[in-house]
């Protein structure tokens, strides 16, 4: 006699159907195969009981489809004019509805106020589902109301208003009342807070039980648990619209410099709103205080520019500044390459640098030509490039590195001597001069730096010629 619809898990006193007590598990069990049943009816809706039917040749009678034209036949199988109605009856289980509103304040759905009114529709899909909404209000009165289905509702809704710190401001479970055998009231809920202070608040909608089902008797259900207290609700309410202040960054100033370390960022925005401050892939969240300001610290790029972006969801506002590091990118280190033989076909240049930096290695060949090779410094701070197509003689290498758009000076130069006839195989020494006869090379040459070499390109050729002649 209670006008509330429900699913049951037989948790009430005196339950007798204990074979499949959990309705929702049965309903959502998709391991139960879906099926379709087919039968034929006369136009008047009565069941066709004939032994034979007729159809055009293109109809597959072993796989009749709803659109197929099927005709009655008499007991001898002769076709009749009467077209039969193909009736399909499908059976299936059902999945739970998707939960569209988060279950906690972090995943709350934002409510927006328009003309001091807000509204949202939702579904409590299972016993443990709650739907949490967030809204920002100014000082003043706040009301919220939950309505459930007018007839035969399953959901007995409750509503809870909390502030940003989780303090309960107001709550209500309604007052379910049996008005008649067909109608109940009080399954919704309603709250009023007369003097809220400005800020962000959360509304939590839940489906709750009523009374005490364990005390059920043959004539009095006693109540119901929240097992089947599920279904659709409509949330409406009123509040004073907050003053929306777009997010702004007040420090650091756009175009200013910093030391390449952490950056203190301050700004303004809408009271109570969360501002997300992003640098590259990193985002920090900060809440705008009651004075309308916020402050946080982000890690800047050690070198080059850092762009700091702040966003505020309530009005989709965004602000950004770009600051520049004063840190200097040092030149990468080029390890002393090992000498090798022409037969090796290549030699490897290794070094260290800033992880992630792009290293450009400049190679001066014995023929006096220069070319560059590029690589990236690994996470361990090392890099290497392979120089190929060897000819006999002395190669001079230097490197620079670029990080976030900032390029270092060139490194010190290193030399590697390539010999012929296998005499110059790596001797384990860290330099090559000892594998060669007197080349006339000034060993101090390497110290001039690559830039000097490039400027003296003609001189390098001369040196090379001497080298070739004497070897
Ligand atoms: Ca839900
Ligand atoms: Ca939810
Ligand atoms: Ca519940």
User: What is the 452 CA–ligand 2 centroid distance (Å)?
Assistant: 70
User: What is the 130 CA–ligand 2 centroid distance (Å)?
Assistant: 4
84 shares its domain with 117: no
pLDDT at 442 (0 to 100)? 36
**Among 375, 382, 392, 389, residue whose Cα is nearest residue 339:** 392
| 3-class SS of residue 269 | coil
In the predicted model, is pLDDT for residue 215 greater than 60?
yes
User: What is the 195 CA–ligand 1 centroid distance (Å)?
Assistant: 29
For the stretch 252-270, pLDDT in tens is 999 999 999 999 999 999 9
Q: Which residue has the tokens 């499908």?
A: 90
User: Checking DSSP bridges between strand 199-207 and strand 130-137, what pairing results, if any?
Assistant: antiparallel
197 shares its domain with 151: yes
pLDDT at 402 (0 to 100)? 96
- Tell me the residue range of the domain where 266 lies: 248-325
362 shares its domain with 446: yes
What confidence category does residue 1 fall into, taking pLDDT thresholds of 50, 70 and 90? low
Which residues have a beta carbon within 5 Å of ligand 3, which is an ion? 127, 206-207, 226
Q: Can you say how many angstroms the Cα of residue 219 is from the centroid of all Cα atoms in its chain?
A: 53
**CATH code for the domain in which residue 422 is found:** 2.60.40.10
Indicate whether 23 belongs to any domain: no
Average the pLDDT over 186-194 and give the result.
96
| 3-class SS of residue 435 | helix
Give the domain-ending residue among 209, 238, 267: 238
436 shares its domain with 343: yes
User: What is the 459 CA–ligand 3 centroid distance (Å)?
Assistant: 87
Q: Which residue has the tokens 């907050």?
A: 242
Looking at the CA of 130, name the nearest ligand.
2
Which residues have a beta carbon within 5 Å of ligand 2, which is an ion? 99, 101, 103, 129, 131
Residue 16: which residues within 8 A CB-CB, separation 6 or more? none
Q: What is the mean pLDDT of the chain?
A: 86
What's the Cα-to-Cα distance from 85 to each of 5, 59, 60, rounded to whole Å?
A: 36, 15, 16
Contact 330, 426 (CB under 8 A): no
| 3-class SS of residue 26 | helix
129 shares its domain with 204: yes
Structure letter (DSSP) for residue 105: G
Give the domain-ending residue among 325, 349, 379: 325
Give the domain-ending residue among 325, 359, 374: 325
Average the pLDDT over 187-209 and give the result.
95
| 3-class SS of residue 119 | strand
Looking at the CA of 109, name the nearest ligand.
2
318 shares its domain with 416: no
What confidence category does residue 421 fall into, taking pLDDT thresholds of 50, 70 and 90? low
User: What is the 228 CA–ligand 1 centroid distance (Å)?
Assistant: 14
User: What is the 166 CA–ligand 2 centroid distance (Å)?
Assistant: 18
pLDDT at 461 (0 to 100)? 33
For the stretch 283-306, pLDDT in tens is 999 999 988 999 999 999 999 999
CA distance 468 to 466: 5
User: What is the 208 CA–ligand 3 centroid distance (Å)?
Assistant: 5
């Amino acid at each position: 006699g209670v006008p509330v619809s429900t699913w049951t898990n037989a948790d009430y006193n005196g339950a007798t159907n204990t074979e499949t007590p959990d309705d929702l598990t049965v309903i959502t069990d998709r391991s139960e195969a879906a099926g379709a049943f087919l039968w034929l009816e006369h136009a008047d809706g009565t069941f066709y009981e004939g032994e034979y039917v007729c159809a055009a040749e293109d109809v597959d009678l072993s796989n009749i489809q709803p659109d197929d034209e099927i005709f009655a036949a008499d007991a001898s199988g002769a076709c009749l004019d009467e077209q039969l109605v193909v009736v399909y009856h499908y059976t299936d289980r059902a999945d739970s509805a998707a939960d569209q509103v988060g279950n906690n304040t972090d995943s709350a759905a934002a409510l927006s106020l328009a003309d001091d009114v807000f509204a949202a529709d939702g579904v409590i899909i299972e016993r443990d589902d709650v739907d949490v909404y967030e809204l920002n209000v100014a000082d003043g009165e706040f009301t919220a109301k939950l309505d459930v289905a007018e007839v035969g509702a399953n959901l007995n809704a409750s509503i809870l208003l909390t502030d940003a710190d989780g303090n309960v401001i107001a709550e209500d479970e309604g007052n379910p009342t049996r008005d008649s055998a067909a109608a109940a009231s009080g399954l919704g809920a309603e709250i009023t807070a007369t003097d809220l202070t400005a800020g962000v608040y959360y509304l939590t909608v839940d489906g709750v039980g009523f009374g005490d089902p364990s005390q059920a008797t043959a004539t009095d259900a006693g109540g119901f648990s929240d097992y089947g207290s599920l279904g659709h609700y409509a949330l409406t309410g009123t509040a004073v619209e907050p003053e929306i202040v777009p997010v702004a960054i007040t420090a650091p100033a756009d175009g200013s410099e910093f030391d390449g370390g952490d950056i203190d960022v301050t700004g303004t925005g809408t009271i109570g709103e969360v501002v997300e401050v992003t640098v590259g892939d990193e985002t920090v969240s900060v809440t705008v205080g009651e004075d309308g300001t916020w402050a946080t610290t982000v890690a800047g790029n050690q070198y080059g520019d850092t762009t700091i972006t702040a966003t505020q969801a309530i009005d989709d506002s965004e602000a950004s500044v770009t600051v520049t590091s004063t840190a200097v990118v040092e030149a990468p280190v080029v390890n002393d390459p090992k000498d090798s033989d022409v037969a090796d076909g290549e030699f490897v240049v290794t070094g260290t640098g800033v992880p992630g930096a792009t290293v450009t290695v400049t190679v001066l060949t014995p023929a006096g030509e220069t070319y560059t090779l590029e690589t990236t410094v690994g996470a361990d701070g090392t890099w290497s490039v392979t120089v190929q197509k060897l000819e006999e003689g002395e190669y001079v290498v230097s490197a620079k590195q670029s990080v976030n758009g900032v390029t270092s000076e060139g490194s010190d130069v290193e030399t590697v001597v390539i010999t012929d006839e296998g005499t110059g195989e790596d001797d384990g020494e860290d330099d090559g001069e000892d594998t060669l006869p007197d080349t006339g090379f000034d060993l101090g040459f390497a110290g001039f730096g690559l830039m000097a070499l490039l400027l003296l390109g003609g001189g390098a050729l001369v040196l090379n010629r001497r080298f070739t002649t004497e070897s």
